[in-house]
Amino acid sequence: MTSMGENTNSNAERAEELKLLANEAFKANKFSQAIELYSQAIELNDKNAVYWANRAFAHIKREEYGSAVQDATKAIEIDPQYSKGYYRRGAAYLAMGKFKEALKDFQQVKRIRPNDPDATRKLKECEKAVQKIRFEEAIAVHDSERRSVADSIDFHCIEVEPQYAGARIEGETVTLDFVKKMMDDFKNQKHLHKRYAFQIVLQAREMLRAMPTLVDITVPNGHHFTVCGDVHGQYYDLLNIFELNGLPSEENPYLFNGDFVDRGSFSVEVILTLFAFKCMRPTAMYLSRGNHESKSMNKIYGFEGEVKSKLSEIFVELFAEVFCCLPLAHVINEKIFVVHGGLFSVDGVKLSEIRAIDRFCEPPEEGLMCEILWSDPQPQPGRGPSKRGVGLSFGADVTKRFLQENNLELVVRSHEVKDEGYEIEHDGKLITVFSAPNYCDQMGNKGAFIRFTAPELKPDIVSFSAVPHPDVKPMAYASNFLRLFS
């Protein structure tokens, strides 16, 4: 008969073995598998702070910052002197844009490890970021008093130098020839002249502003419609989608379902290409807002830095304004509900309520607009807290009720990396589609898009692999301190 002590010992040994396996999975960028193995180790021995902190790090890699904060907090409770616990929690807070909370955690790291140069450097970066935010808050103009930056720009007055050899828009109309030339220039890492960039963004703004918050799309019988998920600045993979599925046109229309920018370092090329197609043929290109079409995300995850580098400071303001004009949801043939994140924390939400959302603002921290942009499906029924720390998780019963109450058949959403580029969940009633293959050059996932043909609108899902891109790393333009933690 084995004693309690021996049992505890063998559990601890087995937990250590699982931790080592988890570490291997982590090194191979198999973060879901790592989380699973760390969880098994924690089940056998939940008093080891290292397991919790390691699992927190794997959650960070999966952008599950809410779960990472919980795990890191647990590590700190077990061992208040364990600096990695504070370090991981600080990194998760940073990724969520919670700079003041992050600052407190890095101050703790520094207190525990006063002579660690790395801790000192990170604390300094964090202090700088918090100071900058406090300064920006102090000088911020209230939304109601803010003048539109778009109204102050007249692109007609901008001179195009004779030596400029790139794509040109003749007059007021964006043509297919122009878009093809621009895409080709981008492919060869050439820039578009600011005059034409202004013209595209300002024209796209006018079109998007005039659209409803929930857009109804009609696909005639025998015609098809393609839905793509997150592209995240992966311009060369966007070109590959057009290679595989044809350029956007009235006969070949697309909906890009949010998160066009950030993380990938060709976000300017992606957004100008999508906006140019919108200008060329409004019914060939539909665009939904994602959680990354927002100032706070663009500040952290690279788009703001990239825009300053490739265009100018004023474009940062302009894009922020245009992102607030993006519709939040689309319904195809009164059957398919398409939204970036997912469903709601309450039952009974009607399409009419979504139509009534005043979307012309930065995304709020709660409510319908926040949930549309941030929430995720979960395998278990009911609702749960979000892994991300924003929005919520919702089960198959929630999906089914929402569809029944609104006389719909399917939810299509994006927002999450999937190994095959897509996943069908909730008894076939919900599909996630994600179109950034080998996300951040490290996830090894495929991308996908979905083609629907009327009248059946059966989802025809096409998966594709990443294509090579020039040697500019993801997050190359991201805020300094975030790069320190990635």
Residue 292 is a catalytic residue: yes
Angle at 210 between CA 315 and CA 331, to 5 degrees: 110
Which residue among 59, 292, 426, 469 is the active-site one? 292
Question: Do the bridges between strand 214-217 and strand 329-332 make them parallel or antiparallel, or are there none, so unpaired?
Answer: parallel
| Enzyme catalytic residues | 292
